[in-house]
Amino acid sequence: MNNYMVKNQNDNSYVLMAEGIRRNTLVHGDKTVFCKFKLDEGTALPLHHHPYEQTGYLLSGKLLFTIDGNKHEVTAGDSWCIKADIEHSAEVIEDTVLIEVFAPVRKDYL
């Protein structure tokens, strides 16, 4: 990898991860990967966990997270950090756009 990476905003290379869930991997380094997600209203992300810390910011829409058994409604401007191996799920209340950083790098997102 080069010493830097730049991705222009007009690159809308979304990958369909599941029905109602699209991911655009924006940039990555040696320790983090930065992604943009589009989630359709009514979509549910099932309870899961992974070995990645997950930090996010909601650009638009509304989600209902369940994180470590606690419910949190998030709207545009809200942010979160979920440590590695913590169980979490989400219900998409409105069409949503968010950005997230994962550390270490999720090789499955490259």
Entry pTM:
0.93
Query: In this predicted structure, what is the pLDDT of residue 1?
Result: 57
The whole-number pLDDT of residue 12 equals 77
Ranges under pLDDT 70 in the chain: 1, 11
The 3-class secondary structure across 26-83, one letter per residue, is: EEECCCCEEEEEEECCCCEEEEECCCCEEEEEEEEEEEEEEECCEEEEEECCCEEEEC
pLDDT of residue 80: 98
CATH topology of domain 19-109: Jelly Rolls (2.60.120)
What pLDDT sits at residue 23? 97
Cβ atoms of 47 and 66 within 8 Å: the answer is yes
Q: Six-digit token pair at 14?
A: 């979304």
